[in-house]
């Protein structure tokens, strides 16, 4: 009886592995845009401890990450209603302005309080951007493709963080970390231009389909 029951089960057809099946095309613009926005994140996460040591602020470093997480929590609680209401463009502008000013402030980093405030606003900006771009992807993807769409989008985190870490490794010895952090704000400007010139309209067209 047992073999007969097993043999009666429908056979599962396994598809051959294909790189094309691991990438969801409509999510690529969101991935490309977020990749630029994650470059400073990679720089800060990888080199904040070294920067704090150079400035004699190592004692504040554990609290830096606590303030970063606190900023993320505050942004998620305060911005969720605006995300649900579709006020995406305003949120992108606000978060980019906050993040650009935060990175530029590293040029004047000399106190523990400054380091903690920078951590809070850094978390605040990313606490808005990360769920916002995630909403772009999930809100424009049919349910059967949401898994591969999210995987495609999440590649932006790995690529952006990797680029940011690599760039700061080069800039650490040549120009120093404070100036290097400040220069990564250029990536926010590029990401903002990409969003304004293409991704915002692209998202709205997908939503209308």
Distances (CA, A) of 44 to 156, 164, 187, 200, 203: 16, 8, 13, 27, 29
pLDDT at 22 over 90: no
Q: What's the mean per-residue pLDDT of the chain?
A: 90
What's the confidence (pLDDT) of residue 83? 79
HEC string of 77-94 equals: HHHHHHHHCCCHHHHHHH
pLDDT in tens, 143-168: 999 999 999 999 999 999 999 999 99
pLDDT at 49 over 70: yes
pLDDT in tens, 92-131: 999 999 999 999 999 999 999 999 999 999 999 999 999 9
Percent of the chain with pLDDT over 70: 90
HEC string of 91-147 equals: HHHHHHHHHHHHHHHHHHCCCHHHHHHHHHHHHHHHHHHHHHHHHHHHCCCCHHHHH
Distances (CA, A) of 31 to 95, 99, 161, 195, 203: 18, 19, 13, 11, 12
Mean pLDDT of 4-11: 54
In terms of residues, how long is the chain?
A: 209
pLDDT at 69 over 70: yes
Q: Which two tokens stand for residue 71?
A: 């900023």
Q: How confident is the model at residue 17 (pLDDT cuts 50, 70, 90)?
A: very low
Rg, C-alpha atoms of the chain: 21
What's the confidence (pLDDT) of residue 14? 58
């Amino acid at each position: 009886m047992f073999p007969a029951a097993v043999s009666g089960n429908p056979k599962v057809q396994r598809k051959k592995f294909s790189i094309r099946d691991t990438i969801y095309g409509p999510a690529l613009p969101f991935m490309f845009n977020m990749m630029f926005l994650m470059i400073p994140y990679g720089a800060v996460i990888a080199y904040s401890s070294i920067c704090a040591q150079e400035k004699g602020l190592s004692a504040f470093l554990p609290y830096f990450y606590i303030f970063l997480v606190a900023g993320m929590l505050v942004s998620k609680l305060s911005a969720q209603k605006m995300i649900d209401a579709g006020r995406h463009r305003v949120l992108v502008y606000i978060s980019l302005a906050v993040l650009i000013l935060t990175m530029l402030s590293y040029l004047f980093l000399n106190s523990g309080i400054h380091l903690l405030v920078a951590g809070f606003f850094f978390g605040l900006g990313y606490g808005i951007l990360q769920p916002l771009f995630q909403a772009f992807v999930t809100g424009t993807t049919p349910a059967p493709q949401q898994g591969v769409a999210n995987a495609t989008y999440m590649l932006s985190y790995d690529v952006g963080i990797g680029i940011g870490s690599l760039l700061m490794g080069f800039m650490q010895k040549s120009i120093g970390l404070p100036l290097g952090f400040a220069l990564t704000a250029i990536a926010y400007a590029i990401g903002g231009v990409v969003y304004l010139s293409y991704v915002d309209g692209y998202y709205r067209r997908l939503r209308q389909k």
